[in-house]
Amino acid sequence: MTTESRHVLVTGAASGIGAAVAAGFAADGWTVTGVDLREAPLRASLEGLAATPIVADLAEPDAPERVVRRAWESGGPLDALVNAAGIYPARAFLDLDAALWDRVQAVNVRAPMLAVRAYAALAVAAGRPGSVVNISSGAALRARPGAAHYSTSKAALEMLTKAAAVELGGAGIRVNAVSPGFVTVDSAANPVTEEYAAAVSVNPLGRRGRPGDIAAAVRWLVSPAAEWVTGTILRVDGGASAGTTTLPTHWPELTDVQTPGLDPEGGHL
């Protein structure tokens, strides 16, 4: 990463992936503005960093733009935006109502859209290039019980990432996403059972993800090393999206039809 003083806005910075992203950028010498709904955890997460906390509920329609403008005006022009805030309530499809559906979409999709739009408008007006990284999820590719609202929101976020990349590339603004596999975050905002964690965390590399794994990918996407990368979804999941390691071999031997050079009637071709 460059040692030049730069400024990043990170949403969901009170814990988990967002907190690790904020800490990683601060360690690289960046000025950080961190946003979260929970004031005490946010301040604790940013304590000791060159960081400014902003408390906001990003589900409010005017909050994303207000937060971006405040960060830009108080901390200096932004060089990067990381949308890490998200909620993951468990609710069976038949019990899912409009209010919960709308809140998940508001936090997970609408807020990033509004934040990217506000950031891009300021950057274009100032003639500054920039970088956006949205935090997606493997749930964008595979539905799971109790997560219709969440999986839909992350699938939408990935298309939003591509659409914004197409429209903002000409202004020098790159837009990418990181799609984590299961990451141990011990989140009070989005708790999961150990049974669930064990079921979704199996992957070819054999360990659960850590917030630092995702933070490192985010910082690479923002860095000059990725200056020709935009509109991409980077899967950082230990190989989980490549395939499963939990299925047995479906049949141990070749049949006559499957054997190369063997006539199904018993002779050789």
Share of the chain above pLDDT 90, in %: 80
pLDDT score recorded for residue 3: 47
- Is position 249 within any domain? no
Total domains present in the chain: 1
Integer CA distances (angstroms), 216 to 27, 29, 79, 222, in order = 12, 15, 17, 10
At residue 180, the 3 state secondary structure works out as: strand
36: domain CATH number?
3.40.50.720
Examine the pLDDT at 268 and tell me if it is beyond 60: no
- Is position 254 within any domain? no
Q: Give the separation between CA 56 and CA 63, rounded to whole angstroms.
A: 7
Question: What is the pLDDT of the chain when averaged over all its residues?
Answer: 93
Tell me the per-residue pLDDT of 150-193, one tens digit each, with 9 for 90 and over.
999 999 999 999 999 999 999 999 999 999 998 988 777 888 88
* Domain of residue 201, residue span: 7-242
pLDDT score recorded for residue 267: 59
- Is position 268 within any domain? no
- Is position 255 within any domain? no
State the average pLDDT over residues 15-29: 97
Of 88, 119, 150, 196, catalytic: 150
The pLDDT-based confidence of 250 (bands split at 50, 70, 90) is confident
- Is position 130 within any domain? yes
- Is position 253 within any domain? no
- Is position 87 within any domain? yes
- Is position 75 within any domain? yes
pLDDT score recorded for residue 171: 98
Residue 150 annotated to the active site: yes
List the strands of the sheet with 130-135, edge to edge.
51-55, 31-36, 7-11, 80-83, 130-135, 173-180, 233-236
Q: Is the pTM of this model over 0.95?
A: no
